[in-house]
Amino acid sequence: MNKQALAQFIFVTIAVIGLSLLYFLFPATSNNFYPACIFHSVTGFDCPGCGSQRAASALLHGKITDALDFNILFVLAVPIIGYAAFVFCWNVFSKTKMRQQVFYSPAFAKTILFAVLIFWVLRNVPVRPFTWMRA
């Protein structure tokens, strides 16, 4: 077993558990000590990440529709991040390694970049039906 990968696994696990507890015990919707978005503070527009803290809190409380309202892009990214975490854990604890080629393909990177940019623009269009994407 690779000691560096195991150390990374332990560090990330502690961080995820700690942040999950923080967002569960102190929801971002009712606590104002979480950092505000600098882009939103300066421009008044939502960035692609605006609402992600509230979406994370809502997901941890099982409120999926609320999470989708706060930031649908964040919610859609959770399964992708979960898959990447699964592959990492598999590779730390298994002798047979899994390769996740999809994350390293130029097409995947371009697709994600395109989706984020389109989401960023559309959520700031001040007319229906796009106003539902505002954080």
Decide if 77 contacts 108 (C-beta within 8 A): no
- Mind spelling out the 3-state secondary structure of 48-115? CCCCHHHHHHHHHCCCHHHHHHHCHHHHHHHHHHHHHHHHHHHHHHCCCCCCCHHHHCHHHHHHHHHH
Write out the H or E segment, with its range, that includes residue 126.
Answer: none
Closest CA to 124 of 37, 55, 52, 40: 40
Question: Residue 106: how many CB atoms within 10 A of its CB?
Answer: 7
Q: What is the DSSP string of 26-46?
A: S-TTT---SPPPHHHHHHSSP
* pLDDT tens digits, 34-76: 888 999 999 999 999 999 999 999 999 999 999 999 999 999 9
Predicted confidence (pLDDT) at residue 15 exceeds the cutoff of 90: yes
* For range 20-39, the mean pLDDT: 89
Q: What is the pLDDT of residues 70-91, one digit of tens each?
A: 999 999 999 999 988 888 888 8
**Could you tell me the pLDDT band of residue 29, with boundaries at 50, 70 and 90?**
confident
ω into 129 cis (within 30 of 0): yes
> Would the pLDDT of 135 be above 80?
no
pLDDT in tens, 79-132: 999 988 888 888 888 788 888 788 888 999 999 999 999 999 999 988 888 777
d(CA 106, CA 85): 20
Whether the predicted model's global pTM rises above the 0.95 cut: no
Share of residues in the chain with pLDDT > 70 (%): 99
